[in-house]
Amino acid sequence: MTIAELLRLIELQTRPVHPESRMALDRRWTELPDHVKTANQLLGRSAVGCEGTHNVFPKCNLTCTPCYHSADANQVRVDGEHTVQEVRQQMRYLRQVRGPRAHAQLIGGEVSLLDPEDHAAALTVMRESGREPMSMTHGDFEYEYLLALVLTADGARRFDKVSFAAHFDSLMRGRSGAVRPLCEAELDPFRQKFTQMFADLQREHGVRSYLAHNMTVTPSNLDEVSTVTRSVLAMPYNMLSFQPAAFMGDARRWKEDFSEVSIDKVWERIEEGAGQKLPWQGTQFGDPRCNRYTIGLAAAGTFAVVIDPDVPADTAARDRLLEHHGGIFFGGQSRPVLAARLLRAALRHPRDLPVLLGVGRRMLARAGGARTLWRAWRSSTLGIKSFVVHNFMDASVVAPAWALMEQGLTSDEPAVREAQERLGACMYTMSHPETGRLVPACTQHSVLDPAENNELRRLLPLRVKN
């Protein structure tokens, strides 16, 4: 490599926004429906959206009502070689069309059914494609599994940081020690135990973690969302995520009228549990009928949102920072490279530094000031947390909506047309390199999973013939 080539490489690697990221973001914005191209929209401006795997390991050893997996999911053998091969192909395609950096979920059935070596291999493949992987689990595994995942046989660290999303709710059956929980509070010790494993992991081996808490919401546990929020806020989870149930997946496990649970009702219960209003309109991922999201500083029982939609200075700062710096990513790179990128961004727009400091100052004031933050830090109750609601759609509207979208047609039926609008703005997609497509998660679960899992039953039968 010549000196000129080295300098060009250094310039590219330290550019605030990678050119491939810029192209992917611009394409994402162009493809969004007009109704979501709003000032608070983050898709296409600072993020391409979240990604997930499919056709990898559909089997799960718990039963849930409802369950988004197809009826054939548990008839498929968990096979590490197949999982790693599929993940590699899907991640390579995502790297090609979505740019060098994104968050991706290692999701299918229950991730801990994978052998730890295969699990680690899948995470490594995802990282090699520039993805920040999050393993999706029900959390019913032991500390020894976690150690085998993050450490090699000789005790060396495979990863400096891991991300897990653990799903806990009273609709799940078969959890060790809570086979048929009668209420959400019964699961609090298991929620706490899960986080303790990762606290032990950091203390003993220096491996950091990002933890999300997921919960499905139906009429039977809607009123318990507030108590779950209150309990989980006191635990070291970084994200609290709730999913109103939808009629998709295995119809044998549909036990209630899920239409009674709206995204508004769930958010109201979250606010009850948090003991305050949680403004979410300052930022948006995709369609507001699908997603609610807010992020802020949690300190000693108070949550201070980063962008308050009712504060003009906050929204003005959001608009300015998105225009100048949207697309900068912070993970998956060395500290010197990140520092160089931030320095170049600051030198390019030096007047943005006071704007950024203003956002921080207002957030600090909302959190109660420096003394409150100091007390929270001393008591280990200080941290960045986010609240999320993902509102999936029923298969009965997704299937006709997707069929028409494939033909380039718009439905005249209001419910199907709404589904088309929401699918067009989806922030959570799956990769199909065999067809050169990115598919919304609702389409994957409602339309494509049944055929895929039926094929997997043939490819990976539970009983292997001798």
The pLDDT assigned to 343 comes to 94
Percent of the chain residues topping a pLDDT of 90: 85
**Cis? peptide before 433, omega within 30° of 0:** no
The answer to whether 26 touches 44, Cβ cutoff 8 Å, is: yes
Buried b (16+ CB within 10 A) or exposed e, 328-340: bbeeebeeeebeb
The pLDDT assigned to 333 comes to 83
CA dist 453 and 461 (Å) reads: 11
Q: Which two tokens stand for residue 145?
A: 């599994």
Q: Which two tokens stand for residue 1?
A: 């490599």
pLDDT tens profile 300-351: 888 999 999 999 999 999 999 999 999 998 888 888 999 999 999 999 999 9
At residue 182, does pLDDT exceed 70? yes
The answer to whether 71 touches 450, Cβ cutoff 8 Å, is: yes
Q: How many CA atoms lie within 13 A of 330 on its CB side?
A: 4
pLDDT (mean) for 442-449: 95
pLDDT (mean) for 20-24: 95
At residue 360, does pLDDT exceed 60? yes
Alpha helices for 379-448 (secondary structure H): 395-406, 414-424, 441-443
Q: Which amino acid is at 5?
A: E
DSSP state of 460: S
pLDDT tens profile 249-279: 888 888 888 888 999 999 999 999 999 999 9
CA dist 207 and 218 (Å) reads: 36
The residue behind tokens 């989806």 is 426
* C-alpha Rg value of the chain to the nearest Å: 22
The pLDDT assigned to 69 comes to 82
pLDDT (mean) for 76-87: 96
Tell me the pLDDT band of 122, cut-offs 50, 70 and 90. very high
| CB-CB neighbours of 143 under 10 Å | 14
The pLDDT assigned to 464 comes to 59
The pLDDT assigned to 445 comes to 94
Q: What is the DSSP string of 90-123?
A: HHHHHHHHH-S-EEEEE-SS-GGGS-HHHHHHHH
pLDDT tens profile 206-261: 999 999 999 999 999 999 999 999 999 999 999 999 999 999 888 888 888 888 89
CA dist 49 and 178 (Å) reads: 35
The pLDDT assigned to 13 comes to 87
| CB-CB neighbours of 61 under 10 Å | 14
Burial of residue 245 (number of CB atoms within 10 Å: 0-12, 13-18, 19+): buried
List phi, psi (to 5°) of 138: -90, -5
pLDDT tens profile 408-421: 999 999 999 999 99
CA dist 373 and 365 (Å) reads: 10
CA dist 165 and 105 (Å) reads: 9
At residue 465, does pLDDT exceed 60? no
CA dist 141 and 147 (Å) reads: 11
The answer to whether 228 touches 184, Cβ cutoff 8 Å, is: yes
What separation, in Å, do the N-terminal and C-terminal C-alpha atoms of the chain show? 54
Length of the chain counted residue by residue? 466
| Closest to 415 in 3D by CA, of 270, 289, 311, 329 | 289
Torsion, CA 417, CA 421, CA 424, CA 426, rounded to 10: -120
- Domain coordinates in residue numbering, the chain: 3-318+370-459
Q: Indicate the angle between helix axes 263-274 and 225-233, nearest 10 degrees.
A: 40
pTM: 0.94
| CB-CB neighbours of 248 under 10 Å | 27
The answer to whether 335 touches 306, Cβ cutoff 8 Å, is: no
Q: How far is CA 82 from CA 152, 204, 242, in A?
A: 22, 33, 31
The pLDDT assigned to 311 comes to 97
pLDDT tens profile 145-172: 999 999 999 999 999 999 999 999 999 9
Q: Does domain 3-318+370-459 have CATH number 3.40.50?
A: no
Q: What is the DSSP string of 23-51?
A: HHHHHHHHHS-GGG--TTB-BTTTB--EE
